Structure formats: structure tokens, C-alpha cells
Amino acid sequence: MRQKKDKIVAKLFGKYPSLLNQWAKRTEFIEFDDSPWTPLDKDVNLCRLALITTGGVHLKSQPPYDMFDKAGDPTFREIPADTSPSELGITHNYYDRSGANKDINVVFPIERVQELKQADEIGDVNHRHFSFMGHITHHHIDVLINETAPLVAEKLKSDRVDIVVLTPA
């Protein structure tokens, strides 16, 4: 029942932005004083690119994100770069997924990245991408900030990724 309510609220927020604005005014958000920015020191057409989404995307063969925990799910899913869109699913109740359900590239542009590679606009596509569930609150924030996000950052660093495109949902 709660999952249906979450989906209805997400659709209402999408249809009536004033409701979303009212919710946002009453919600406490984490703010940071710095940003981990690294300037790009080579041409984009020589760079290796990876995707990270907060859209709750996962392989259909992987466990879905936990939609029963009100604080969200701070885990991530690794998605191979050669994955077909038909192999992907979405488990996330906190945004209107209707567009993404029709075309996964709306929240996880895996085919668009391959097109950039084919057109020699980027040097390479990383062999794996990553997905999180974007609704993380309370005690899971600490897990996300101190465990799962740094682990993904280390994986990207070890893969020698130059550019990460974050696609929020």
C-alpha cells in the first residue's frame, strides 16, 4: 500500500510543482561547502566515460532496491557497459518513471554513450557503470557518504575513468 502511495505522490509532484516546492521548504537537505571537482586535462575525444544514475536502475537479474525502508537503500548496482536496455529494470517509487519505463536512456543513457563512442566524440566507454537509488535519508546518508559512494569512486579511479556523467532521476 505504501508503495502505491509513494508512486501517487511522485506523480502529483511532477504534475503540480507547487506541491513539490512546499515539500522542499519543509525538508532539511544536506549542504556541502566544497565540491570534489577535478579539471579535465585532456580532450574529451580521448577520455573514458562512465555513467552513474540515481534512478534506481538495475539489471533485472540483480536484486531490486529496497523500497520498504523509508530511509531508502544506500547500496549500488554495477551495470556492464554492454548491457542491452531490455535487460534493465527500475526499482524506485519516488519519481514518475513513465518516461524511463518507455526508454531507459531518459535516466540511464547507456545507448547514447555508445553512440558518442561510435562517433569518436569520446575516447572510450568504461566497462561498467553504476546505479544508486536517489532517495536516501536518515541513517543511510552516513552509509552512502562514508561507504558506498567512496567505494564506487575507487572503482572508477581504478578503471581510469576520466569523465563521469551523473543522471539524477
Q: What is the mean predicted confidence (pLDDT) over 118-136? A: 96
Longest dimension (CA), the chain: 51
- What long-range pairs does 115-119 form, CB within 8 A, spacing at least 24? 116/49
For 12-46, what is each residue's pLDDT tens digit? 677 777 876 776 677 777 777 887 778 899 999 99
For 98-123, what is each residue's pLDDT tens digit? 899 999 999 999 999 999 999 999 99
Report the share of the chain in percent with pLDDT over 70.
Answer: 93
Domain range annotation of the chain: 38-167
Q: What is the mean predicted confidence (pLDDT) over 144-163? A: 97
Cell numbers 565540491 correspond to what residue? 35
